[in-house]
C-alpha cells in the first residue's frame, strides 16, 4: 500500500508555498512563516500516506495532484479551531486581520491573526466559553461614530458577544442571552447583515438543535446609548430537515440573501431582510447531491455587483465546492456546482473569503479555511481562480 503513494514524494521534497508569492524575505517573519507552512503541509501529506499504509480510507485531498495549498498556515489555537472572519483595514489593507474562533469549553476565545499568520496577543480575547462562529460587519452606528464590529456566540452561557474593531473592545455589557435562554438550542452559527437601504444591522443565529421551521433567529443590533449594544429578536425563520444541525450561515448583503448549511442535506436560501413580505419563503435548496457528508462553511466572493461565487466546504471530502452567486440565466435561485477543489486544510468547518487586494501575497483577495490541526490556512485567491471554469 505504501508503494502506491510514492508519487507524493516529490511534493514532500519541495515547499508547498511558492516563495515568490509568499510574504518574502523582506518581511521580518516571512521566511519563518514559509518554513512553518511548509512543515505543516509536509506533516499533513505524511499523515495521509501513513494512514493509507495502515489501511485507513484515502481522502480526496491526499490523492489529488491539484490540491489547493496555502500561502500561510497560522499559529495554532489552544483547543479547537472552528471558524474565521476577515476584517479589512480600509486605510491600510496590509494591516487587515483574520479573527478565528477556538471553541474550547472554558479556555476558548477569539484569536486575532495578522496576515502572516501570527497571533496578535494584545487583541486576542480569551477565555470565552465555546465560541463556535464569528462574523464581522462595517458601518455600524454606535456612540455617535461609525464603527466596525465582530460578533460571536458563546455556547456555554448562551450569550451573544460583540467587539469593536480593530481593538476588539467588548461593547455588549457582558453579552446578551440568545434563544430566550433555551439551553437545548446551544448557539453556534452567526452571520451579520447590514441592510443597504437604511444601514440597520442584524445578526442571524443558528443553534445545535431547533424546530423544523423557524430554526434561525434574527436579531436587530442597536446602540443603547450607554456604551453598550443591545439585540432585539425580529423573527424566527428557516426550514430544517431534522437530519443533523445548522451552523454555517452567510449573508450576501448587496443582493439581500442569506444562505445556510442544513448539514448532510443541502444549502438553503432566503431573503435576509426580515421586513419583506416574502421573507419567510424559501428561495432555494441546492447542493443536495455530490457532498461526501456535511455541508459546512459558506462565504461569498463577488466578481461584479451581482456575480461571483458561493464557496462551500465539503467537509469530509477535504474539498471546496463553488456555485454561481447569480444562479443560472433566467433562474437566479438555481445554483449548480461550477467546480470542486481539493484543499490542504483538513476537514474544514468554517471559512471566509474577500475579493479585496490585501498585500503582494493576496493581490486578488484571500480565502481562509479552518483546519483540524488547530490552525487556519490562508490561500491566495489567484490559486482558486486558476481552478475555475471561464466566467
Q: For residue range 372-385, list pLDDT tens digits in order.
A: 999 999 999 999 99
Residue 56 has pLDDT above 80, yes or no: no
Q: pLDDT digit string (tens) for 318-375?
A: 999 999 999 999 999 999 999 999 999 999 999 999 999 999 999 999 999 999 999 9
User: Which whole number is the average pLDDT over 138-161?
Assistant: 97
Q: Residues 88-94: what's their mean pLDDT?
A: 97
Looking at residue 351, its pLDDT comes to: 98
The pLDDT value recorded for residue 390 is 81
**How high is the pLDDT of residue 18?**
40
Mean pLDDT of the chain: 88
What is the spatial distance between Cα 23 and Cα 3, in angstroms, rounded to a whole number?
A: 35
Partners of 219 in the β-ladder: 203, 233
Any idea what the Cα angle at residue 151 is, between residues 111 and 288, rounded to 5°? Answer: 95
Give 251-269 pLDDT, tens digit per residue: 999 999 999 999 999 999 9
Q: Is the pLDDT of residue 7 over 80?
A: no
Kindly state the average pLDDT of the residues 2-21. 39
Residue 315 has pLDDT above 50, yes or no: yes
Matching residue, cell 487587515:
96
CATH superfamily ID and name for 2-385 = TolB, C-terminal domain (2.120.10.30)
| Nearest-angstrom CA–CA distance, 6 and 378 | 28
Q: Are 188 and 207 in contact (CB under 8 A)?
A: yes
pLDDT (mean) for 157-176:
97
Cα separation, 351 vs 299, in Å, equals 7
Please give the pLDDT value at position 64: 55
**pLDDT confidence of residue 48:** 43
For residue 68, what pLDDT band results from cuts at 50, 70 and 90? Answer: very high
Is this model's pTM higher than 0.75 or not?
Answer: yes
Q: Is the pLDDT of residue 8 over 70?
A: no
Amino acid at each position: 500500500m505504501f508503494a502506491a503513494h510514492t508519487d507524493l514524494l516529490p511534493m514532500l521534497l519541495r515547499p508547498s508555498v511558492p516563495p515568490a508569492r509568499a510574504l518574502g524575505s523582506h518581511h521580518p517573519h516571512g521566511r519563518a512563516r514559509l518554513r512553518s507552512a511548509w512543515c505543516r503541509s509536509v506533516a499533513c501529506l505524511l499523515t495521509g500516506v501513513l494512514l493509507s499504509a495502515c489501511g485507513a480510507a484515502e481522502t480526496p485531498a491526499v490523492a489529488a495532484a491539484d490540491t489547493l495549498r496555502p500561502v500561510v498556515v497560522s499559529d495554532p489555537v489552544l483547543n479547537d479551531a472552528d471558524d474565521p472572519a476577515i476584517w479589512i483595514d480600509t486605510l491600510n489593507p496590509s494591516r487587515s486581520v483574520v479573527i478565528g474562533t477556538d471553541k474550547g469549553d472554558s479556555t476558548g476565545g477569539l484569536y486575532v491573526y495578522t496576515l502572516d499568520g501570527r497571533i496578535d496577543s494584545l487583541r486576542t480575547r480569551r477565555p470565552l466559553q465555546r465560541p463556535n462562529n464569528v462574523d464581522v460587519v462595517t458601518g455600524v452606528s454606535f456612540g455617535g461614530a461609525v464603527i466596525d464590529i465582530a460578533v460571536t456566540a458563546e455556547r456555554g452561557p448562551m450569550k451573544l458577544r460583540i467587539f469593536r474593531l480593530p481593538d476588539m473592545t467588548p461593547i455588549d455589557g457582558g453579552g446578551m442571552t440568545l434563544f430566550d435562554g433555551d439551553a437545548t438550542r446551544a448557539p453556534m452559527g452567526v452571520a451579520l447583515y447590514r441592510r443597504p437601504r437604511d444601514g440597520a444591522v442584524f445578526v442571524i443565529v443558528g443553534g445545535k438543535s431547533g424546530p423544523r421551521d423557524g430554526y434561525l433567529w434574527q436579531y436587530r443590533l442597536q446602540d443603547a446609548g450607554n456604551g453598550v449594544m443591545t439585540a432585539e429578536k425580529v423573527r424566527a425563520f428557516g426550514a430544517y430537515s431534522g437530519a443533523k444541525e445548522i451552523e454555517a450561515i452567510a449573508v450576501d448583503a448587496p443582493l439581500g440573501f442569506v444562505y445556510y448549511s442544513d448539514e448532510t442535506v443541502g444549502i438553503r436560501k432566503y431573503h435576509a431582510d426580515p421586513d419583506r413580505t416574502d421573507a419567510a419563503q424559501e428561495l432555494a435548496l441546492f447542493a443536495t447531491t455530490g457532498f461526501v457528508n456535511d455541508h459546512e462553511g459558506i462565504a461569498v466572493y463577488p466578481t461584479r455587483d451581482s456575480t461571483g461565487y458561493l464557496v462551500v466546504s465539503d467537509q469530509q471530502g477535504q474539498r471546496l465546492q463553488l456555485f454561481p452567486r447569480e444562479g443560472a440565466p433566467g433562474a437566479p435561485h438555481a445554483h449548480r456546482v461550477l467546480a470542486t477543489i481539493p484543499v490542504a486544510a483538513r476537514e474544514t468547518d468554517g471559512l471566509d473569503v474577500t475579493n479585496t487586494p490585501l498585500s503582494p501575497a493576496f493581490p486578488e483577495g484571500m480565502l481562509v479555511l479552518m483546519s483540524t490541526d488547530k490552525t487556519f490556512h490562508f490561500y491566495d485567491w489567484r490559486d482558486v481562480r486558476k481552478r475555475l471554469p471561464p466566467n
